A and B are shown apart, each in its own frame.
Chain A
Amino acid sequence: MGRWPTLSAWLFGVLRHWPVGVAVVCLGFVLTRPDEPIFVDYNDLEMGGLSDAQQHALTMATELNKYLISLATLIFGALGLYLARYMTAIPRLTLWLSLPVIVLLLCLTYYYGFATYEQFTAALTQNAFALLPGRSRALYYLEMEFWACLAASIAMFALFVYGSSLQVTGSPSKRRDD
């Protein structure tokens, strides 16, 4: 019986600061993705050139990579804009717990984006190419980049919805501290 108030208080806290829970779940999801493939199935490039099919696959992968990097930059920008305008409306605890997680997820997106390019460059300069699902490290990093970007977007959106719901009832100029 003695633990009941503590547990209820804890549950109440989690429910009250739910964007933190969303951010942590998103980060956990990204960090528990399967490890990179042990065996990378490279193909030799004939005469040092890519076939049409390989060229298309590579273009699609690099396009997606560029798009995800742009999107991550955009989320960073939106986060900054949002903080500048509506920071005061969100309780400090929620803000300072959610924010580092979102920033970490965005940084992971950048890292995976860089790693994807690095893998392509390393392979192509050595006349090899690997883009088979489950047997390509470049594709693995691209997938991780997608998940990290998606997780950052969801966490950001949760924080945004939370802030907006507070806006309806409270003044944006006055902080709603715990």
Chain B
Amino acid sequence: MRALMLVVGFLTISVGVTQASLQTLLAGPAVPSDLGAPGESRSPDTFEVVPLPATPPRVRSLPGGEVVQWDAAVRGIEATVGRAIVDAKFSVSPSARDAIVREVLRYSAIRERSPEDIAKSQSEVSEVMGLLSTTKKSEWGSPTEIENALANAKLAKIVETLPVDISTAARDSGIVILPSAYERLYVDLRAQSAGLARSGFATADIKRRNFEYMATVYGAAPGRQLDDGTYRQLRAAFFPQIARLTIISEPLGAEVDVHGVNIGKTRIERKPLEANKEYVFTFRLPNYKVSRRVYYLQAGQTEHTLREVLLPEERK
């Protein structure tokens, strides 16, 4: 019993002393005030940080007529996709057809094409249908099937040439990559390509981004050799953990959820999100179909723009 009293007494006194000392210590300001301007990142002393050229979010006014233009563009794409499906002799359910239309619109939106260009263009439709025909499948039931098939087909094409791309980019930069660094770089680029493929990026766009990534790493490598340690240091120094994402929907005003959490209505400006990660966005707008979009926030860029074109609901 004496032991019990001794230990309880000791604990009580110690907790009291700790609390009192903490209160004294915490009297001063707890947070540094010189945090720098928004968007400014801290860099370690060892490297001069030159971030990738950021894609500035395109600020566009949306007059009432533009909504009509977008709707017309979507109808145009739907018609073109419908014809392409018949030509390819595919059997596609309505929801799977919507998935194809969405993919086409995403390609166009990423390339920042205007509604008039989208309505006229056939190239994105041919690109998507070409990818689907590589799967040797002709019946498509659900949108998930289409999304997975497209992502896998794009990834297969990229992975096929990835070793050559890494070596070519290194040779152009005059860098020798040691095997350990090569392996890690390959894994990172493969993961990035898989994420971008699921996000609605076309094969060429993914390759371009991979080259940007490599150019940043190779350009910053000290000396002529890149080993695993240096690559990891460069990656940590150059690719900030938090990136800014501007979210736009066509038309504007859609409610946006991320993993089921509402984050507001479009247009959402420079939302800070963890980079090198995949997010699931859901767009909801009256008279438009609910759109679910996977988006991979690529490392190496501090500014990203996600544009989702919404499909109007069928008019009865």
Residues in A lying within 8 Å of B, measured CB to CB:
38-50, 55, 58-59, 62-63, 66-67, 70-71, 74, 77-78, 81-82, 85-86, 122-128, 135, 160-161, 163-164, 167-168, 172
User: Closest residue to A46 on the B side, CB-wise?
Assistant: B38
Q: How many residues in B have their beta carbons less than 8 Å from beta carbons of A?
A: 40
Contact B261 A74 (CB under 8 A): no
Shortest Cβ distance from B244 into chain A, in angstroms?
A: 8
Query: Which of B10-18, B48-56, B193-201, B288-296 has 4 or more CB atoms under 8 Å from chain A?
Result: B10-18
Using Cβ atoms and an 8 Å threshold, which residues of chain B touch A77?
Answer: 14
Contacts between the two chains (Cβ within 8 Å), count: 103
Contact A48 B37 (CB under 8 A): yes
Q: Say yes or no for B58: interface residue by CB 8 A criterion.
A: no
Using Cβ atoms and an 8 Å threshold, which residues of chain A touch B33?
Answer: 49
Contact B31 A55 (CB under 8 A): yes
Contact B42 A70 (CB under 8 A): no
Contact B258 A43 (CB under 8 A): no
Using Cβ atoms and an 8 Å threshold, which residues of chain B touch A85?
Answer: 3
Shortest Cβ distance from B3 into chain A, in angstroms?
A: 6
Contact B242 A39 (CB under 8 A): no
Contact B259 A67 (CB under 8 A): no
| Binary interface encoding of chain B residues 1-39 relative to chain A, with 1 for a CB under 8 A from any of its CBs, else 0 | 101100100110011001100100110001111111111
How far is B26's CA from A77's CA once the two chains are assembled, in angstroms?
24
Using Cβ atoms and an 8 Å threshold, which residues of chain B touch A48?
Answer: 34-38, 40
Using Cβ atoms and an 8 Å threshold, which residues of chain B touch A123?
Answer: 242
Contact of B274 among A40, A49, A70, A124 (CB under 8 A): A40
User: Closest residue to A168 on the B side, CB-wise?
Assistant: B1
Contact of A125 among B14, B18, B35, B270 (CB under 8 A): B35
Contact B38 A44 (CB under 8 A): yes
Contact B258 A58 (CB under 8 A): no
How far is B18's CA from A107's CA once the two chains are assembled, in angstroms?
19
Q: Say yes or no for B240: interface residue by CB 8 A criterion.
A: yes
Contact B11 A67 (CB under 8 A): no
Using Cβ atoms and an 8 Å threshold, which residues of chain B touch A46?
Answer: 38
The 9 closest A-B pairs by CB, nearest first: A42-B272, A48-B35, A128-B272, A39-B259, A126-B242, A70-B18, A164-B4, A127-B38, A125-B42
